[in-house]
Chain A
């Protein structure tokens, strides 16, 4: 929970906006002072960009899959049958507490490298395994967020809906969930940022993503200053992706705060 300060000092606002341009500006300045380094970096930039596209792809797929599964699990966590609830509660508890890296290892090494469907061998690429590995914790987080959002709606609304002749499912669909959407957006975006940063872990199982590309590039060039700048570029790229998400989240939190 962030504490709201009514009026932010102008200095801090400027500082926060500088944050987004400071890293790219530093990279640019360094490249201009050392042109041979700049030329090297320009050569490798498309390769790094192709890696970053993979990060975004993994993150989006994992979030779509995780959100779909998580919403369903969150709703099922509130079903009045213990037999349904118990396995879901333990799923959420176990995978919310598991490190992302462990889950990526698990999916990578447990799933086969190809699957057979009606006698056809279909490759099961590493990045899809990474997507599943990240979708599992994402679904656990989203399930908790959904459950929390549904429980935060006053019970009186359920009763009023029953009084108006809505069935339980209808009340959930038309009255409760629309309100949950708004409440759960800021925490959902926190999960999005966390999963996006988690995509870099896929480099450890050999997926060609940004960090992996930077390691490739730095071992190929073999210059200390290039190694440094390659990793600064990686940081700048993730920063440019995650910082706006974080800013937007805080803005939404402030707007949705009651009172």
Chain B
């Protein structure tokens, strides 16, 4: 087995440096840890489209000019931006989740898992941040462009879809990429309600093995890599979408 010997070689070499990665040679703990990485990546891949979708939705409400749409979304955005995500998560999981359970007649009928709540809370939190960035972008779209679109018969929604969002997306892309990097970091709060992402999986390993430093080195490298990739893709999209002569 090529893979097994490589792992053994790695464990032996890091052992010589005084680092304890022995758990990698065992089946069970290594599996938990690998699943932790996979869960975190899965969360990130799922959360990016969810947050963008709701971000556009919120931004549309914020710029609609209709008070009954604006007020609740504005309230939600302000509360979300100014309270810790962990508190929102605990509130959702301990209060809303229990409420849903009672409504459906017992926790065994409740289909909402901790994973769902992490996606919902972190997704909506980052969506609120996106919405603020997009709102600024939409307000920066020249009024003459919007008027021209209205002049050739675009409806309010069509203007949003074909004129405002494409331009606003370009101007607010740096802020959105920043929010996405924040999103990658926020996935760790899932740890609080036993979603087995990488920090949760690592706790499982280091309580057995007492090798916090070793795991920390890998986790820090992992998040640096993830954020590096997100930032790189953001830069690439920014270059691809750049409109000559428009924006900064």
A contact set with B: CB distance below 8 Å: 1-3, 5, 11-12, 15-16, 19, 22-23, 93-94, 97-102, 105-106, 109-110, 193, 197-201, 203-204, 211, 214-215, 218, 224, 227-228, 231-232, 234-235, 238-239, 242-243, 246
Contact = CB atoms under 8 A, between A and B. Distances in A.
Contacts, number: 124
A102 B220 contact: yes
B216 A106 contact: yes
A44 B184 CA distance: 35
A235 B91 contact: yes
B1 interface: no
Given A94-B220, A97-B227, A197 B136 contact: no
DSSP class of B's interface residues: helix, strand, loop or mixed? helix
DSSP class of A's interface residues: helix, strand, loop or mixed? helix
A94 B217 CA distance: 11
Contacts of B81: 246
B95 A106 contact: no
B95 A231 contact: yes
B90 A235 contact: no
Contacts of B42: none
Given A15-B74, A239-B79, A228 B223 contact: no
Contacts of A94: 220, 224
Interface of B: 67, 71, 74-75, 78-79, 81-88, 90-91, 94-95, 98-99, 102, 136-137, 139-140, 175, 181, 184-189, 191-192, 199, 203, 206, 212-213, 216, 219-220, 223-224, 227-228
Given A102-B223, A242-B82, A235 B87 contact: yes
Q: Identify the interface centre among B78, B102, B175: most chain A CB within 10 Å of its CB.
A: B78
Contacts of B75: 15, 19, 22
